[in-house]
Amino acid sequence: MVQDELYMKEALHQASLAFSVGEIPIGAVITYNDTIIATAYNLRESLPCATAHAELLAIEKACRTLQRWRLTGCTLYVTVEPCPMCAGAIVNSRLDRLIYGCPDPKGGAVHTLFQILSHPQLNHHPEVIAGIQQESCANLLKDFFRQRRQKKKGSLT
């Protein structure tokens, strides 16, 4: 559990980098043999690309690092519950574990809206642990959207 906390702190750091460039602050880290092999944060606005989610970018980096598409033996740490697209990528890349910070009530596809990773007809079911650094992850999102609303409000006056 201590190790999970440390890696989630790195995912939070990645999320803060996203925040600093105006992206929704979601960060991801992938580990293999207790070593970080990939880090990423949301880049949808910067690229612009609808699929530039932190999880997908980290999965792509991890595949290149290990030179294989199967990420067995790997753990994904992400600050927010993955969406359906990212949950599908988690299944398809065969990640062993998913650790996420806070739930996503509007798009979560692990526990909140959908339960893709535990769907009985899928051929892969990673271990899932939710709530690691939950308050810090949620607060970063709240701060980002509060700041965005204030900017929007300021531009209307």
Tell me if residue 127 is catalytic. no
Q: Which of 23, 45, 55, 81 is catalytic?
A: 55
Gap between the Cα atoms of 127 and 70, Å rounded: 16
CB 27 within 8 A of CB 54: yes
Tell me whether residue 125 is annotated as binding. no
Whole-Å CA distances, 106 to 81, 93, 109, 136, 144: 10, 24, 9, 19, 16
**Sequence-ordered alpha helix ranges (H) in 40-157:** 54-66, 84-92, 134-156
- Considering only CA atoms, which of 95, 99, 86, 87 is closest in space to residue 66? 95
Tell me whether residue 86 is annotated as binding. yes
Tell me whether residue 49 is annotated as binding. no
CB 28 within 8 A of CB 14: yes
Gap between the Cα atoms of 56 and 29, Å rounded: 11
Q: Catalytic site residues?
A: 55
Q: Which segments are annotated as binding site for Zn(2+)?
A: 53, 83, 86
Q: Which segments are annotated as binding site?
A: 53, 83, 86
